[in-house]
Amino acid sequence: MARHLITSALPYINGIKHLGNLVGSQLPADLFARYMRGRGREVLFLCATDEHGTPAELAATKAGKPVEDYCAELHEVQARIADGFRLSFDHYGRSSSPQNHALTQHFAGRLADLGLISEVTEKQMYSNADGRFLPDRYIEGTCPNCGFESARGDQCDNCTKQLDPTDLINPYSTISGSTDLEERETKHLFLRQSEMREKLQNWIDTKADWPILTTSIANKWLNDGDGLQDRGITRDLDWGIPVKRGAEDWPGMEGKVFYVWFDAPIEYIACAQEWVDAGKGSDWERWWRTDKGADDVTYTQFMGKDNVPFHTLSFPATILGSQEPWKAVDYIKSFNYLNYDGGQFSTSRGRGVFMDQALEILPADYWRWWLLSHAPESSDSEFTWENFQQSVNKDLADVLGNFVSRVTKFCRSKFGEEVPTGGAFGETETALITELTTRIRAYEDHMSSMEVRKSAQELRAIWVAGNEYLQNAAPWSVFKTDPEQAAAQIRLALNLIRLYAVLSAPFIPDASKALLAAMNTDDTSWPDNVPAALEVLKPGHAFTVPDVTFRKISDEEREDWQTRFAGKRD
């Protein structure tokens, strides 16, 4: 049986992420990991904080802390919040780890030996006011492509065009704000991606099952304009992985570090080493080396669309270019953007809900359900408080929560707190089982294909089927004339609660756990055989009536939150 290696794009270290960051990578990756574990697959789910580069230095300076201390502190904050959202990482590592230092330097040495790294003398912006060369993210200005006035020196966030600092119009230092910049010569290392173009194109052409969003971005970068360009992999920074050729010093590269986009994807591999070194697992090579048993591994990456070029081109150029037996990605699930209530999330303006704030308002399952059921797969999607309230109240409270409450309370009042004995399933029950079998198989197909929204829709339909059955069967009426038949109906419904807990666990793990506890069972067996799954809880099995599974959001709460997170307007 194939093993599943799953990685999420690494969240950047400079602060707490917003809900759009969460739904664009980590949350759907967790959904898939939980589903595969639920189906009995062996899973290694890895993520880490991305800690190098200019923004880390800038954020640390703003916080008045040494960058090492700042990154260590924010790593703990992000890890705690990830746990709050029940992200089930097998290890949550750090790109600043010793393992990633050594592995990044190894890849650089290997690529250099194979002629895929060149030393290039180029002109780079030097700030006279700051007395230093300015890496790309230390410079902002107007984008020459779309006119966006806050484009960074590496990329425009508005049109996503890849840039060099010298491309910007009216550039200025983000450190001092000074426009007293001049070009000076400096030497840097470049990954010769252009030499890998044909190999990368052939590799991408084999990925016919990838989402159109993923392949269209990759092919655009490969073929637009002059095609795939060589990319600088070093920067003039203090914080980062020192430039070495393997374990050896690299003459002329003293004082430079590797560019964050070169070392960050390598952390996926290093994270597995950290996982082993932390005593959580063993033999990381069987996941990452095809000469060590990784041939039966299916490797899936999750990320937002802005990360696609680096994961379809730059990181594969590193992996494939090394000519070593590393496991390359099999499938890249990419997402569009989640916008916030008619605009964008903004940290500086306090606009939108950020992950720590979300958990202060409501438990994780409320957010997990809305975000996954509205995942921005085929296009950008938008969070609004009205839609959030409606989805929580109708899907979670009225459909799932109401079913659980009605069944358990009715059973307690008529049969006590145990699965009732007597009666037999009739045509109505048989029809329900047939419908559930069809829907569960469809749910499995969507989940295996990582069709997140379709999976959520099918799961909700499975919940609705139970409600419709309860309404049609009307055990409260049947009980008056045929208590045994009502007992059979409620026995089926109680088993449905356990079944719902199992099926829903990837989406709403806390609620799933609570429902299993209420049903007094730790049986999480997957319903390969639906009729058998609906007889797991035998007559006489004790249960308890759970607390409210999901509470409704009031209009007053919605209005308060809408005002609280509106942020400062321009």
- What is the domain-level CATH number for residue 528? 1.10.730.10
Q: Which residues are within 8 A (CB) of 43 and not within 5 positions of it... i.e. 6 or more apart?
A: 3, 4, 5, 6, 33, 36, 37, 90
Residue ranges of alpha helices (H) inside 278-353 are: 285-288, 308-309, 315-321
Domain count, the chain: 2
Nearest-5° Cα angle at 275, 270 to 276 = 100
- Mark whether 330 and 426 lie in a shared domain: no
Q: Are 550 and 396 in contact (CB under 8 A)?
A: yes
Indicate whether 246 belongs to any domain.
Answer: no
- Six-digit token string for 408: 């358990």
The pLDDT of residue 122: 84
Look at residues 273, 308, 335 and tell me which one is the last residue of a structural domain.
335
- Mark whether 420 and 489 lie in a shared domain: yes
- Mark whether 408 and 502 lie in a shared domain: yes
Q: How far is CA 227 from the centre of its chain?
A: 30
Between residues 155 and 135, the one the model is more confident about: 155
Indicate whether 538 belongs to any domain.
Answer: no
Indicate whether 189 belongs to any domain.
Answer: no
- Mark whether 398 and 269 lie in a shared domain: no
pLDDT in tens, 145-181: 999 999 988 889 888 888 888 899 999 998 889 999 9
The pLDDT of residue 399: 98
Mean pLDDT of 234-244: 93
Indicate whether 287 belongs to any domain.
Answer: yes
The pLDDT of residue 160: 82
Indicate whether 550 belongs to any domain.
Answer: no
Look at residues 335, 362, 391 and tell me which one is the last residue of a structural domain.
335
Q: Which residues are annotated as a binding site?
A: 143, 146, 156, 159, 347
The partner residues of 94 in beta bridges, in order of sequence, read 49
How would you list the strands of the sheet with 91-94, edge to edge?
91-94, 43-49, 3-8, 297-304, 331-335
- Mark whether 399 and 489 lie in a shared domain: yes
Indicate whether 79 belongs to any domain.
Answer: yes
Q: Which residues are annotated as a binding site for ATP?
A: 347
Indicate whether 364 belongs to any domain.
Answer: no
Q: Domain range spanning residue 69?
A: 1-115+197-207+259-335
Question: Is it the case that residue 54 has pLDDT exceeding 90?
Answer: no
- CATH number for 111: 3.40.50.620
pLDDT in tens, 101-116: 999 999 999 999 999 9
- Mark whether 419 and 514 lie in a shared domain: yes
- Mark whether 430 and 518 lie in a shared domain: yes
Per DSSP (E only), the strands in 370-519 are 381-383
- Mark whether 318 and 445 lie in a shared domain: no
pLDDT in tens, 421-449: 999 999 999 999 999 999 999 999 999 99
Q: Which residues are annotated as a binding site for Zn(2+)?
A: 143, 146, 156, 159
- Mark whether 314 and 452 lie in a shared domain: no
Distance CA(231)–CA(425), nearest Å, equals 67
Look at residues 312, 335, 358 and tell me which one is the last residue of a structural domain.
335
Q: What is the DSSP string of 271-290?
A: HHHHHHHTTS-S-THHHHBG
Other CB atoms within 10 Å distance of the CB of residue 287: 23
Mean pLDDT of 138-143: 93
- Mark whether 283 and 388 lie in a shared domain: no
The pLDDT of residue 138: 84
User: What is the amino acid identity at position 304?
Assistant: G
Indicate whether 305 belongs to any domain.
Answer: yes
- Mark whether 87 and 3 lie in a shared domain: yes
- Mark whether 400 and 526 lie in a shared domain: yes
pLDDT in tens, 479-531: 999 999 999 999 999 999 999 999 999 999 999 999 999 999 999 999 999 99
pLDDT in tens, 465-480: 999 999 999 999 999 9
